[in-house]
A and B are shown apart, each in its own frame.
Chain A
Amino acid sequence: MIPQDTFFILAPVAENRAEDLLSLLNDMTKAPGYADPDNRLVPFGRFGQLHVARFFLVRAQTWRDIAAYGQDPQPYPLQLAFLGDVDGDRQAFLRELVTRCADGLSEIFSHCAGFDRGTDLLRWMEDHNVKEAANYVNTRGRTVRQVHEEAALAAALRRELTAVAERGEATDPFALHDHLVDHVRRQTANGTLHLTRPPRTSLRQRIPNWLDLISVPAILLLLSPLLLITLPFFLLWLRRLERTDPEILPRPDNAHLADLGRYEDHDVTNPFSAFGDVKPGPLRRLITTTALYLLNYSARHIYGRGYLTRVQTIHFARWVFVDDKRRVMFCSNYDGAVESYMDDFVNKVAWGLNLVFSNGIGYPSTRFLIKDGAEQEDKFKRFLRNRQLPTQVWYKAYPGLTARDLVRNSEIRHGLENRPDGAKALHNWLAKI
């Protein structure tokens, strides 16, 4: 298996350079926010290991809300974020990035404070890389190459199946499967189709993975007596906070919604970028840290196969702490319009959203961390939209394909290589094509 890695380069924008930077970023797109894969500055399409990437300006919008806790609001300087998800490891990708488009990247980053002509680009990017608190990958180990190969395979099978149907040949599913296997074998032999075998997961990959897998249960087991004793105190403290934490949920500005809309729905997948502040105090800090740690753990070990709880529309998602854990950035890539995305949040995983986001200032009030909160549809949508930011440049290596499409294409390939058992299973497999 080739695991995915992430990069998240974050740097403050130099004073008075924001307008120039925006127009430069705009030059990289063919529709608002929708990257031209061959753009002059960073031709994303030439990097075969790059799944998704984005540039966006982090403009804090709700930083004044902390005044409700009697604290002095601290403005957050305007930042440029450049992030993405790659096959293989980050260092290798960044090196390749520098080799191929140092000029373009330098042109972009020259708008950031502390970046000069003489700056070592690779080192500067590594220095400004922020490690995520949690990361979700729809299907761990599925490479960009595999996505493209399987999409081509599914299309070829669909064409062949249509041709078979038009010829009106007998449709014994077993014979049909054999026929399709033969067909693909011929196509791979003559080089039309490629089906690269994913490399075996080596023992050197497996052992750390196993250790990681048992780490959380082991820690929980070890600490369980302590956790049990502190649980009542924790709950009392939590409930006190939940009763007093203010909801700050003004209606999103119409101009803000209109601006966000310009960037949406140019592909079946959309980027979501958001930025908000964490509620002050040690307990909220502890809960956020723990929740994101557990989220990251479950994304690694439980939810890496097409589902994040009940949600199947997320390709990649990332939670990043900045400013000494006082603020959090959330970036995801989801299928459908933003209303569908929020619908999933509210109707399918309100409890999960609450666990993480209820530690954000102004969040709709929760009970025991998981109840209420995002179940309050109107309030929750306000909270989210107020924190959402336009994504000025967004790239996806496989336009037109949803996360569901990718999973289905893999299932089609699996069924081709391992014949489903019995006529009914074969019919189901054929139906996927």
Chain B
Amino acid sequence: MTQTPNIPADPVEFDDMQGLIRFGHGRLVEAEFILCTLKNRKAAQAWLMDAPVTRATTLDSPPDTALQIAFTAAGLTAFGLTDDITASFSYPFLAGMAGEDSRSRRLGDTAENAPDHWSWTDTEAHVLIMLYARAGGLDAWKDAVLGNAFSAAFVPIHSFPTRPNDGAEPFGFRDGISEPKIDWQNAHPPAKHGREDFSNLISPGEVVLGHRNEYNARSASPTLAADTPASDVLAAAPDTDGLRDLGRNGSYLVFRQLAQDVRGFWRWVDSATGGDPVRREALAARMVGRERDGTPLVHNTRDVDGSPRSNDFTYEDDVNGVCCPLGAHIRRANPRTGDHPHHVEGRIAWLLSTLGFRRRRDKLPGRHDLVASTRFHRLVRRGRVYGPDMTPEEALTKDSAPGEQGLLFICLCADLVRQFEFVQNAWIASPKFNGLDGEADPLLGGRAPFSGVPSDGFSIQKADGMADHHPHLPRFVTVKGGGYFFLPGLRALRFIARHGNKEV
């Protein structure tokens, strides 16, 4: 129709990108995350300079270990970055995940999940060290990375050991199936508007700072003046005069420690189904939206761009939630909506839909066009599980939990507000999601009223219109801590390591 000006489509530089953005390090089954503060800036800079940070380039043989490093806003300041530099980072990163009541309110971090009860937040930490290794290799890797140079520089304040999990999260469901596919080649330029159907492909700028995003614009990236000491390692910021790009090839990392009450979950499901094992499995599957082995409750043969078979579906043929409940976990976390609701074919239909005249009340009773287009709200998940293993069968029979277990939820995105906070607020925690009322995510919900509305129910829609209502679910997941981090590119890491030196 018209030419699109200035499409930023420059290639993504894998050698300047931390590996975590591109890979989940799935083969490196052992991992430990360490949250620390700076003890000595000079020593920290020296350690950072030599740190063997894993890049996103592919190697002939996959690595045996990996190291990734992320920073809090306080951490950047501790490394000597002045306020005029940090000010160009996004506001939620600077304010912190628990920094404001209004943010906690939006995220549903209230009552028992309120930051007052957390054991850690981003404001007290500086650096997140993420170590990965093949089975049996983690201890040696820790010794190598966390040697004397590390001890001279940092004080570990929190350590997060993880457990190899064969792809199942602690409740016993296969996890990590639905991941967006990043279009690294920029082969599918995002139509500005009018990608009517759901697609699993997202532009690199949804995850990587300074690249083209789904709005066909560069994702916002922090910059600094070109005369900033040591900034010559950084690339020039595009479309600016004399600024350098600090965020380029970096990302924002969201980290939440979610304790899972596995016994509580299975016992509640068991009692809600009268102890019948078949119905128990069925109810648990309805809450998740998948069976334990990952089989989705919705089966159709739509060809979703960039999706593997187990993920090749949308909810278009299940608008009433009869196959997969409207409030099921995977339906909230990824509603698989397109820019327009339901097959818009031809210009007339598109125009009618745009003007709000194509309401299709016959086909979509009361649930027309209530959920935002999914492609603007995707997250790349990189979490790991922690704590002792417990099967659902053990959860039902054992008298006590062998210790805290749960998920170290980690996700990457370029826009904390539009992506992570939107998903958590409008989709996971909102009791009004998709026209529902009085229920939040059946797994993740904090159960406290949200904006004054109860959120502790769960309903299962049925073909005869008579939904099964489960009132007053107990809380199965408790937030134990959380923070926003910046996962810099390799050049930015070198800048952080050198900048403070030259200043003094």
In the complex, are the beta carbons of B464 and A336 less than 8 A apart?
no
Secondary structure of the B side of the interface? Answer: loop
CB neighbours of A344 from chain B (8 A):
372
Which of the residues A164, A308, A343 comes within 8 Å of B372, measured between beta carbons? Answer: A343
With A262-B101, A339-B418, A376-B215 known as contacts, the answer to whether A428 contacts B366 (CB < 8 A) is: yes
Tell whether, in the assembled complex, residue A431 and residue B339 are in contact, meaning their CB atoms are under 8 Å apart.
Answer: no
Set A265, A340, A347: member contacting B105, Cβ < 8 A? A265
> How distant is A266 from chain B, measured CB to nearest CB, in Å?
7
Given contacts A339-B421, A431-B461, contact A371 B2 (CB under 8 A): yes
On whether the beta carbons of B435 and A375 are closer than 8 Å, the reply is: no
A-B contact count (CB 8 A): 135
Interface residue tally on A, bucketed by range? 35 or more
Tell yes or no: A205 within 8 A of B by CB.
no
Residues of A within 8 A of B418 (CB): 339, 343, 377
- Is the CB of B504 closer than 8 A to any CB of chain A? no
Is B356's CB under 8 angstroms from A337's CB?
Answer: no
User: Residues of A contacting B431 with CB < 8 Å?
Assistant: 268
Closest Cβ–Cβ distance, residue A174 to chain B (whole Å): 12
| B369 beta carbon closer than 8 Å to chain A | yes
Collect the chain B residues with CB atoms within 8 Å of residue A405's CB.
432, 437
CA distance A300 to B487 in the complex (A): 51
A161 within 8 A of B: yes
Given contacts A171-B466, A336-B432, A343-B422, 8 further A-B contacts (CB under 8 A): A265-B102, A267-B452, A307-B359, A310-B353, A351-B354, A400-B451, A430-B466, A431-B467
A16 on the B face (CB < 8 A): no
Instruction: Find out whether the CB atom of A378 lies under 8 angstroms from the CB atom of B370.
Output: no
In the assembled complex, which residues on chain B have CB atoms less than 8 Å from the CB atom of A371?
Answer: 2
A327 within 8 Å of B (CB atoms) = no
A-B contacts, 23 of them at CB < 8 A, read: A254-B87, A254-B91, A258-B100, A258-B102, A262-B101, A264-B102, A265-B106, A268-B431, A310-B353, A310-B354, A310-B356, A336-B426, A336-B432, A343-B418, A344-B372, A378-B217, A400-B452, A404-B370, A427-B465, A428-B366, A430-B466, A431-B461, A433-B465
> Which residues in A have some Cβ–Cβ distance to B below 8 Å?
161-162, 164-165, 171, 173, 254, 257-258, 261-262, 264-268, 303, 307-312, 335-337, 339-340, 343-344, 346-347, 350-351, 367, 371, 375-378, 399-400, 402, 404-405, 408, 411, 426-433
Chain B residue numbers with a CB within 8 Å of A312 are: 369-370
User: Taking the nearest CB of chain B, how far is it from the CB of A271, in angstroms?
Assistant: 13
Q: Which residues of A contact B451 (CB under 8 A)?
A: 265-268, 400
**A261 vs B102: C-alpha distance in the bound complex, in angstroms?**
5
Q: Which residue of A lies closest to B433 (CB)?
A: A336
Q: How far is the CA of A204 from the CA of B465 in the complex (A)?
A: 42
Determine whether the beta carbon of A428 is less than 8 Å from that of B422.
no
Chain A residues with CB below 8 A from B365, complex form: 428-429, 431-432
Residues of A within 8 A of B426 (CB): 336-337, 339-340
Complex Cα gap A350–B102 (Å): 27
The answer to whether B354 touches A429, judged by C-beta atoms less than 8 angstroms apart, is: no
Give Cα A337–Cα B92 distance, bound, in whole angstroms: 15
Contact A378 B215 (CB under 8 A): yes
B contact residues around A430 at 8 Å (CB):
464-466
Measured CB to CB, the nearest residue on chain A to B1 is A371
Which of B2, B87, B373 touches A367 (beta carbons < 8 Å)?
A: B2
For the complex, is B376 an interface residue (Cβ under 8 Å from A)? yes
- Judge whether B469 is part of the interface by a CB distance below 8 angstroms: yes
Q: Do A375 and B192 have beta carbons less than 8 Å apart? A: yes
A161, closest chain B residue (CB): B466
User: 0/1 per residue, B444-487, Cβ < 8 Å to A?
Assistant: 00000001110000000101111111000000000000000000
For the complex of A and B, the 8 pairs showing the least CB-CB separation, nearest first, are A430-B465, A261-B102, A428-B365, A427-B465, A309-B356, A431-B465, A307-B356, A377-B215
In the assembled complex, the Cα of A422 lies from the Cα of B360 at a distance in Å of 18
B260: chain A residues at CB < 8 Å are: none
Q: Decide: A347 and B339 in contact? CB cutoff 8 A.
A: yes
Within 8 Å by CB of A335, from B353, B372, B432, B463, lies: B432
Interface pair A404/B435, CB less than 8 Å apart: yes
Q: Inside 8 A of A307's CB, which chain B residues have their CB?
A: 356, 359
Interface size class of B (residues with CB under 8 A): 35 or more
Complexed CA–CA distance, A235 and B106 (Å): 44
**Within the assembled complex, what's the spacing in Å between the Cα atoms of A27 and B430?**
29
A423 to B62, CA, bound (A): 59
Given A336-B432, A371-B2, do A258 and B95 touch, yes or no (CB 8 Å)? yes
A406 CB to nearest B CB, Å: 12
Q: Tell me, rounded to whole Å, the shortest Cβ–Cβ distance linking A413 to chain B.
A: 13
- Whether the Cβ atoms of A268 and B453 lie closer than 8 Å is yes
Q: Quick check: A337 and B339 within 8 Å, CB to CB?
A: no
For B360-397 the 0/1 string (1 means CB < 8 A from A) is 00000110011011001000000000000000000000
Which residue of the partner chain B has the closest CB to A311?
Answer: B356
At the interface, yes or no: B417 with Cβ under 8 Å from chain A?
Answer: yes
* CB-based contact B464/A173 at 8 Å: yes
Residues of B within 8 A of A337 (CB): 106, 422, 425-426
A376 to B421 alpha-carbon distance, docked (Å): 20
Chain A residues lying within 8 Å of B105, measured Cβ to Cβ, are 264-266
A402, B432: Cβ atoms closer than 8 Å: yes
B278 within 8 A of A: no
Q: Tell me whether A347 and B372 are in contact in the complex, defined as CB-CB below 8 angstroms, given that A261-B103, A262-B101 are known contacts.
A: yes
* CA A405 to CA B214, docked complex, whole Å: 31
B94 in the interface, Cβ–Cβ < 8 Å? Answer: yes
B193–A347 contact, CB under 8 A?
A: yes
CB distance from B150 to the nearest CB of A (A): 33
CB distance from B434 to the nearest CB of A (A): 10
Closest to A400 in B: B453
Residues of A within 8 A of B67 (CB): none
Contacting residues, chain B, for A303 (C-beta < 8 A): 356
B464 and A171 form a contact (CB under 8 A): yes
Judging by beta carbons under 8 Å apart, are A375 and B370 in contact? no
CA distance A367 to B461 in the complex (A): 45
B187: CB under 8 A from chain A?
no
**Minimum CB distance partner of A263 in chain B:** B102
Q: Which of B94, B353, B418, B466 has the most CB of A within 10 A?
A: B466
B307-348 vs A, CB cutoff 8 Å, 1 = contact: the mask equals 000000000000010000000000000000001000000000
**A281 shortest CB reach to chain B, Å:** 25
Q: Which residue of A lies closest to B99 (CB)?
A: A258
Looking at the complex, which one of B339, B422, B437 makes contact with A340 (CB distance below 8 Å)? B422
- Expressed in whole angstroms, the Cα–Cα distance for A386 and B13 within the complex equals 34
Question: B2, B359, B366, B431: which has the most chain A beta carbons within 10 Å?
Answer: B366
Q: Which residues of A contact B369 (CB under 8 A)?
A: 310, 312
What separation, in Å, do the CA atoms of A175 and B189 have in the docked complex? 54
- Chain B hits for A336, CB < 8 A: 425-426, 430, 432
Residues of A contacting B353 with CB < 8 Å?
A: 310
Min CB distance B50 to A, Å, is 35
Residue contact B425 to A431, C-beta cutoff 8 Å: no
Find the residue from B355, B365, B369, B376 having the highest chain A CB count within 10 A.
Answer: B365
Chain B, residue nearest A310 (CB): B356
Which residues between 158 and 196 of chain B lie within 8 Å of chain A, taking CB atoms? 192-193
Chain A neighbourhood of B376, CB < 8 A: 343, 347, 377
Q: Are A261 and B356 in contact (CB under 8 A)?
A: no
Cβ contact within 8 Å between A426 and B465: yes
When chains A and B are docked, how far (Å) is the Cα of A343 from the Cα of B377?
10
Query: In the complex, are the beta carbons of B452 and A257 less than 8 A apart?
Result: no
- Name the A residues within 8 Å of B355 (CB-CB): 309-310
Give the residue name and chain of the B residue nearest to A428 (CB): B365
1/0 contact trace for B147-158 toward A, CB 8 Å?
Answer: 000000000000
Q: B366 to nearest A CB, angstroms?
A: 5
Q: Separation in Å of the A45 CB from the closest CB of chain B?
A: 15
Q: Report A-chain residues with C-beta under 8 Å of the C-beta of B95.
A: 254, 258
**Distance between Cα atoms of A350 and B243 in the complex (Å):** 31
Closest to A260 in B: B102
CB distance from A350 to the nearest CB of B (A): 7
The verdict on B127 contacting chain A, using a C-beta distance below 8 Å, is: no
